[in-house]
Every structure is written in C-alpha cells, then in structure tokens.
Structure 1
Amino acid sequence: MNCLIFNDAESAVQKIAKEFVEYSLQNRPVHISLSGGSTPKLLFKTLATSPFKTEVHWENLHFWWGDERMVEPENPESNYGEVKKLLFDHIKIPSQNIHRIRGEQPVELELQRFEREIRKVVPNQVFDWIILGMGTDGHTASLFPYQTNFNDNNLAVIAAHPDSGQLRISKTAHLIEQSKRITYLVTGAGKAEILKEIYTESAENLPYPAAKIQSKEGITEWFLDKDAANLLEINSTF
C-alpha cells in the first residue's frame, strides 16, 4: 500500500482539493470519478468555498461517479444529489461536464446508457483520476466481497447491497483498474482493523475488492487519517 497519513480528515481533503486545482489547469477535458460517503461530503463542501471555488477551472473537469443507488436524484441516498447540493449548486460548471448515473431510470436501460456515455466521452475509457472510499466490509464503489467478478470486462455492472438488496450501478473492477490514478480516501477508527488486514496480507488472500483493485498502469494510493491508520506501522504524517 502506498499510504499518506494525515492528522485528520480535513487535512486529507485539503490535499485533494488542491489537486483539483492542478488538474483543472490542464488544457483538456479531465475525467474524474467521485465517491459517496461522509468524507467526500467534506471534500465537496471544501471545493465549494474559497479559494477553491474560484481557483478551480471547472470548465476543464468532467465528473463521474464510481457507483450510484437506483433512487431519484432528490433522494438523500443519491450520490449525485449530494454533490449537487454541496458543490454543483455553488459553482459555475457546464452541465455537459456532469455525467451522472440516472438512478431514477430502469436499471438495465440505465446500465446500457451509462456504458455508452463512457465509451463516447472518455478517451479509451481511461479515467484521469478515480477517487474511491472503502466500507467496513472492504467493499469499494458497489463492488462487494464474494459478489465481485474481477474478470468482468464490461464497463459497468448492476450490483445489489448484500444486506438491503438495494440495486446500484457500479463501475467494474476492470474499468477502475484502467485509471491513471486511483485514490482510496478512508477515514475513521472504524476502518482501522480492515486496513491492517489489507496492509499486512497479500491481496490475493483477501476477499475485499478494495484490497484487490489497483491501477494497472498508473498510481494507486491511500489517503488515511490518523484514526484509520492507527494500527499500521507507518510514522509519516502530513
């Protein structure tokens, strides 16, 4: 694991927000995939405030999601809805730069439409940056332990939450692994035990998608706060 340990979630989010500025200075469309969860909400709030609100060249950034629940965008469980409320409603970004998964649509039809959009818009289906979280069960996006087909060559997949059965659409492991950069943003003491497993065990011996999914040609990194990393033997802190 390539780990960066931060004093707190706010410090990790500040680091990522600064990199949004750097990415946006490139004179081309930059494709970034976002994650749901509590820490990303802090990121979106941060990006919606000064100096990032005005320093980021939003017209150069294209936003996607690692997964989405099949709910209306107004539903509190909608990943897109949270970003809209916390970030998009507060910045000037072209509507064509927002590539949401339409959770209100029939799941099979939306899966096909989402894959078509990726093929049409993302060069060679290679994302510049995919930001992921990790659940306490080791899932990432909506790729769950014992349910994920790591050999699925499609771009997206229909997934069901193992407990609730709620349907989602998720990027596949195959698509995520083509990304130039994968950043796992994981915070909180509740993730410490599973992070220790991932840090000390070979990924092939673990069932956790978050342990297995890495960029094939690019960078894979973990941004952790002190609470999440408290069982790891890593001393460097930012």
Structure 2
Amino acid sequence: MTNERRVLVHPDKASLASSVSARFITKMLDILDAQAVAHVVLTGGSMGSAVLDAVAASPARTSIDWSRVHFWWGDERWVPDRHEDRNDEQARTALLDDLDVPDGNVHPFPSSESGMSLDEAADAYAAELSQHGVDGLEHPIFDITFLGVGPDGHIASLFPHRSGIQVTDRTVIPVRNSPKPPPERLSLTRPVINSSQRIWLVLAGADKASALGLALAGASRDEVPVAGIKGRRRTVFFVDADAAAEVPESLIARDY
C-alpha cells in the first residue's frame, strides 16, 4: 500500500475537469469491482461542479452501478434547502439528479430550514456518519474524497488561524464567523478527511498557487490547512498550469 502525494498538472481548467472526471469513473469501476459499496465525499466550488458536469457528459458513466455508491459532503453552507450556494444543490444540478441513486445513498448536511440549531445539525450529521461506521470508527472510510482549496489554503470549512483544523475529538463541527461568507457552516474534521483512502484536491487559477506551494513546502496546517491533509493511500493534487506556478519541478508527477 502506498501513501503518496502527487501533483498532476493540466494545461487549463477544461482539460483539468475532463481528466479528473475520466479518472473518477475509472477508479469507481475498480473500487466497485473489489467491494460491495463505495463512499465518496463531494465538494463545491467552480471546479467541483466542473468535474461533476464532465462526469455527467461522459457516456462511460453508465458503466457504473451508482446504486452502490454513497455520496457525502466535506462541508456545507448554513443556508436553506435548494439554495444555489449549497454544495449539495450544485452537485444535484451537475450530476446526481441524473443518476439512478437511491435517496438513502445521498447524505446532505442539514439546512438552515431543518428546524435544528447549527450545533444540533452538526450532531445530526455526525450521527448519520456513525450509522455507516466501520472498523470501530464513527464514520465510513471514504474511498475518494474531493476537496477544493481556497486561496488562503482552507479546505472544507477549516480555515487558517481558526480552531477547526485542530479538532480531533469530533467528526463534524459547527463553524461560526467564517472569514468567507456565509458566516455559519458545517464541516467534517481533519481526522475524518484524512481517514479517506484517496484524497483528490482539484484546484485551478493563479490565486491558488501560493497556498499550494506552501502546503507542499511543509507549512503548518494551522497557517495553511491543506498542508495537514493526507489520505491513507494517496493524496493527489489535480491542478492547472496557473495553480502549479510555485510547485517545484521535482514534485510534479508525470503520470498517475
């Protein structure tokens, strides 16, 4: 078993989304050939949606038995159901609504219309994770976790100089006073994310170059949260040429 960090560079955003979507379909076929079900964590943002759009457009997606795939999210904005800013709404629009996935296999975070407080919503999602826990864990082992990376190096809703990245005794946390609007959010914690077999970080744009360079140079996870992220088997940074501007040539992989 390997535990590696790799950086794969693509010429532009379009080729990046296309390549990641093709790898996702291929890897899902491999995973489902080896096990009964798969657990995938989705992310939001422009590249997260672009990858799902590309999966939806691929004829190869019909080769996957999506009824055996569970979908989760790394974080969510505390806004109403079906709000365009919700990560789950973006994923439904891009892909999930067109797949034959049982409702019970889609695990969105509670919304601000749920009747729960933010703290209660965090506890509710933690309980749902626990229902699918394995190997004594309070959560499933995710086969693939998609993450975006902010210009400040944040992942999910774990931000620099905030306590969230340091939490190790919970699976889900409420986030208040987020430096990025909206101020209230829900997020998986770092240990849960790092329990994933494979973490795929997809980022594009020159504004991400500094965060990526610092993370790969060994920056503190408190300063640059993405620096503290590493999957059990592999951690792959799928990036475009602009985002790779500060990545040392020696760290760029020539193939997957």
TM-score (norm 1): 0.90
Query: Which 10-residue stretch deviates more, 86-95 or 47-56?
Result: 47-56
Corresponding residue for 1:154?
170
Q: Give 1:144 shift.
A: 0.4
Q: Any residues of structure 2 matched to 1:120-139 within 5 Å, and which? A: 120-123=131-134, 124=137, 125=139, 126-139=141-154
Q: Give 1:29 shift.
A: 1.1
User: Which sections of structure 2, spanning at least 5 residues, go unmatched?
Assistant: none
Corresponding residue for 1:108?
119
**SS class of match (1:92):** coil
**SS class of match (1:204):** coil
Shift in CA distance, 43/122, structure 1 to aligned 2, threshold 3 Å: farther
Q: Give 1:92 shift.
A: 1.7
Count of residues in correspondence between the two structures:
236
Query: Which 10-residue stretch deviates more, 70-79 or 8-17?
Result: 8-17
Residue 223 (structure 1) aligned with residue 238 (structure 2):
yes
Q: Give 1:48 shift.
A: 1.4
Q: Distance in 2 between matches of 1:19 and 1:232?
A: 22
- Contact 2:167–2:189 (CA under 8 A) maintained in structure 1: no
Question: What code does the residue aligned with 1:155 have?
Answer: T
Corresponding residue for 2:219?
203
Query: Which 10-residue stretch deviates more, 27-36 or 160-169?
Result: 160-169
Residue 213 (structure 1) aligned with residue 229 (structure 2):
yes
- Contact 1:150–1:174 (CA under 8 A) maintained in structure 2: no
Residue 175 (structure 1) aligned with residue 192 (structure 2):
yes
- Contact 1:133–1:140 (CA under 8 A) maintained in structure 2: yes
Residue 23 (structure 1) aligned with residue 28 (structure 2):
yes
Corresponding residue for 1:140?
155
Question: What code does the residue aligned with 1:99 have?
Answer: H
Shift in CA distance, 159/13, structure 1 to aligned 2, threshold 3 Å: same
User: Which sections of structure 1, spanning at least 5 residues, go unmatched?
Assistant: none
- Contact 1:39–1:187 (CA under 8 A) maintained in structure 2: yes
Corresponding residue for 1:2?
6
Query: Which 10-residue stretch deviates more, 76-85 or 4-13?
Result: 4-13
Deviation string, structure 1 residues 6-55 (Cα, Å, up to 9, x no partner): 12223332333233333243341100101111001111111112313412
Q: Give 1:65 shift.
A: 0.3
TM-score (norm 2): 0.84
Residue 186 (structure 1) aligned with residue 203 (structure 2):
yes
Q: Distance in 2 between matches of 1:156 and 1:70?
A: 14
Question: What code does the residue aligned with 2:21 have?
Answer: A
Query: Which 10-residue stretch deviates more, 202-211 or 221-230?
Result: 202-211
Question: What code does the residue aligned with 1:69 have?
Answer: R
Question: What code does the residue aligned with 2:151 have?
Answer: T
Q: Distance in 2 between matches of 1:129 and 1:209?
A: 19
Q: Distance in 1 between matches of 2:224 and 2:214?
A: 10
Q: Distance in 2 between matches of 1:129 and 1:196?
A: 23
Q: Distance in 2 between matches of 1:183 and 1:53?
A: 19
- Contact 1:152–1:174 (CA under 8 A) maintained in structure 2: yes
Corresponding residue for 1:45?
53
CA RMSD of aligned residues (A): 2.0
Shift in CA distance, 23/50, structure 1 to aligned 2, threshold 3 Å: closer
Q: Distance in 2 between matches of 1:18 and 1:165?
A: 32
